[in-house]
Amino acid sequence: MKGVNHATSGAAAWIAVTGAMPYLSSGAYPLDPVGVVAGSFICAGAALLPDADHHSATIAQSVPILGRLTAGAVGAVAGGHRYGAHSLLAAGAVGLGAWALTLLTLTTDRLGTFSLGMMIGSAALMCFAVKARGMVNSWLTAWALGAAFGLLLVLLAPDSVHWFPVAVVVGFVAHLAGDFLTTGGLPGLLWPIMPRPPKFLRRAPIISSIWRPSGHVALPVLGDTGSVREVALGTALALYVFIGVAHETVRWFGIHPAALL
């Protein structure tokens, strides 16, 4: 799946989990409008993290030279693209890392105590999100927006430390789900264990197409990365995100969306 659609799917997943839209969101992890809107950007950025194992990914371009070197190192440790960095183990590790970031605090006379780690993490994820979605042209602008976003988040919504790790994990898992729906699938979902199907299942009509002899798992309803079907899904998800953000923005101002109908 393309980076732009990964970012969009991350934002959509967050709105679906935390939003208050009747029939269009689950409310499984209900948050106030600030948490829903701000978290959608964080989740969008987190949905790009698994591709830190690829030299041409959005994250690899975020910092000159260092970004590519980091992507190369991650890819080497993870065993290549879509292996270790695209695993459930990685999702857990990233979630633990996000939680650890919230514990890194700084105390100043003027601002009091705030989570410096979450501010930095939010800034980076916002940067990735707006660049992947094409909202800005340059990385410098993306980082500037990210820095402003991170600062405002810790100052105006300090309670976001509670949901920040959740947003990161939801975004990460949304990426895995997106790749699972493409032809390439997920060769390393259970990395470092890569089980292959028993011989008696390799010819089973449905199972063999999902759990392949190589050990890859995929449900390729979207076809190849960048396919027309993927673009259509990305467009639908973008519309969903737009409606969700609009709904939460109206609710943010104390107006019940139904009153506008």
Mean pLDDT within 216-223: 91
pLDDT of 16-68, one tens digit each? 999 988 888 998 999 999 999 999 999 999 999 998 888 777 777 777 666 77
226: left (phi over 0), alpha (psi -120 to 50) or beta: left
- CA angle in degrees (0–180, nearest 5) for 106-131-100: 30
- CA angle in degrees (0–180, nearest 5) for 103-176-241: 80
Identify the residue with better confidence: 73 or 184: 184
3-state helix, strand, coil split of the chain in percent (to 5) is 60, 5, 35
Question: Which of 23, 28, 25, 26 lies closest to 245 in space, CA to CA?
Answer: 25
Which residues face 112 on adjacent strands?
108
Residue pair 220/257 in contact (Cβ under 8 Å)? The answer is no
Q: How confident is the prediction for the chain on average, in pLDDT?
A: 89
pLDDT of 58-100, one tens digit each? 777 777 666 777 777 877 887 777 888 899 999 999 999 999 9
Mean pLDDT within 171-197: 91
pLDDT of 124-145, one tens digit each? 999 999 988 888 888 899 999 9
Dihedral sign, Cα of residue 21, residue 25, residue 31, residue 34: negative
Cα–Cα distance between 120 and 122 in angstroms, integer?
6
**What pTM, to 2 d.p., does this model score?**
0.91
Question: Which of 91, 3, 5 lies closest to 54 in space, CA to CA?
Answer: 3
182: left (phi over 0), alpha (psi -120 to 50) or beta: beta
pLDDT number for residue 34 = 94
- 7-11, 191-195, 236-240: range with lowest mean pLDDT: 191-195
C-alpha to C-alpha distances, 168 to 77, 86, 154, 208, nearest whole angstrom: 21, 14, 16, 32
